[in-house]
Amino acid sequence: MFEGILITIATAATPLLIASVGELVVERSGVLNLGVEGMMVMGAVTGFGVALATGSPWLGVLAAIIVGALFSLLFGFLTLTLVTNQVATGLALTLLGLGLSGMLGESFVGMPGVKMDYIYIPVLTDLPFVGKLVFGQDPLFYVSLLLTAGVAYFLFRTRAGLTLRSIGDNHASAHALGIKVIAIRYLAVMFGGACAGLAGAYLSLVYTPQWIENMTAGRGWIALALVVFASWRPWRVLAGAYLFGAVSIGQLHAQALGIGVPSQLLSSLPYLATVVVLVLISRNRRLTMVNTPASLGRPFVPDR
C-alpha cells in the first residue's frame, strides 16, 4: 500500500515539476509569465485530441509541446516586442487558454482517452517495493527528472546559462555588453511554454486519460508559486513539487478513510498549502531577495 501511495505522489508531482522548471527558466531571464495555467490547459486539450485522432500518445505529447510554445510566442510578442504589461498579459493568456480549450474540447467530454503505457523492465520492475516506483513509471516521469537535472546544469554550469541569468539580473548591463536580450528572452519564454504544454499533456494522457474542462484545476498557479517557494533553484523545485504532490494525494486518502472533515476543506489543502508557504516566504525578506532576478517583470526596450 505504501508503495502505491508513493507512486501516486510521483504521478501528482510530475506535471507540477515540468511546468515549474519551465517557468523557472522564463523568470531567470527576467520575464514573469502568469499564463502557465492557460498554456497547460491548451496542452492538455491538444494532447488529448491528437492522441485520440492518431492513436499515438507520443504524437499527442509532441502536439501539446508545439501548442504550448506557440501560445508562449503570443505572450512574447505582446510583452517583449510590444512591451505590454507582463502581469496583465499573462492573466489574459490564462483566460484565453481556459476559454479556447473549453470550446475545442467540448466534443471530447466523456470520450475514453489514449493512455501512455508505463515502462516495464524485466526483473527490475518486478523488484519488491522499489520496482514499480523506480523502474516502472511512465516515460514522462523520467523526462521530468532529466529536465530538472538539465536545467540545473544549464543555468549554473554553462556559459549560456550564465548569460541567461545575467539578463534576468540586469538586462541593461547585459545589453551594453552586446547580449541579445530580447532574442534570448524569446527562447526562454518558448521553453517555458513548451514545458507547460508538456505538463498539460501529462494530465490528459497519463494522470487521467480523458478530457475534462478546466482539468488543470489551478496547477499552473501552484507551479508559479513553486518557483518562488524554491527561490529560483531547480532542485528545490523538485522537492517542492513532490511536497505539494504529497499534500494533493494525502487529502484524497484522507477522504477515502472517512476522516470527519468536510471534503471541500480537504480538497482545498493543496491551495491552502500554497498560500501558507508564500506567506511564510514573504516574511523573510532576505530569503525572498537572495535569488530573485532583479529585472523580473520589468520591461526592456533596447536603445535604437
In this prediction, residue 258 has a pLDDT band, given cuts at 50, 70 and 90, of: low
Distance CA 213, CA 102 (A): 6
- Interval 40-96: pLDDT, tens: 999 999 999 999 999 999 999 999 999 999 999 999 999 999 999 999 999 999 999
- Interval 261-288: pLDDT, tens: 666 666 676 777 777 777 776 676 666 6
On the question of pLDDT at 204 being above 80, the answer is yes
Q: Which CATH topology does 2-290 take?
A: ABC transporter involved in vitamin B12 uptake, BtuC (1.10.3470)
Position 263 scores a pLDDT of: 60
Identity of the amino acid at 3: E
- Interval 10-52: pLDDT, tens: 999 999 999 999 999 999 999 999 999 999 999 999 999 999 9
Position 210 scores a pLDDT of: 92
Calculated CA dihedral for residues 81, 84, 89, 92, nearest 10 degrees = -110
Distance CA 157, CA 168 (A): 17
Best CA proximity match to 297, nearest among 185, 190, 194: 185
On the question of pLDDT at 254 being above 80, the answer is no
Distance CA 221, CA 224 (A): 5
Task: Give the pTM.
Answer: 0.93
Q: What's the average model confidence in pLDDT over 253-262?
A: 64
Identity of the amino acid at 269: L
Distance CA 8, CA 38 (A): 25
- Interval 94-150: pLDDT, tens: 999 999 999 999 999 889 889 999 998 888 888 888 888 888 999 999 999 999 999
Average pLDDT, the chain: 90
Element (H, E) at 28: helix 2-28
- Interval 211-230: pLDDT, tens: 999 999 889 999 998 998 88
Position 266 scores a pLDDT of: 62
Q: CA gyration radius for the chain?
A: 19
Percent of the chain with pLDDT over 70: 90
On the question of pLDDT at 197 being above 70, the answer is yes
3 state SS for 99-146: HHHHHHCHHHCCCCCCCCCCCCCCCCCCCCCHHHHHHCCCHHHHHHHH
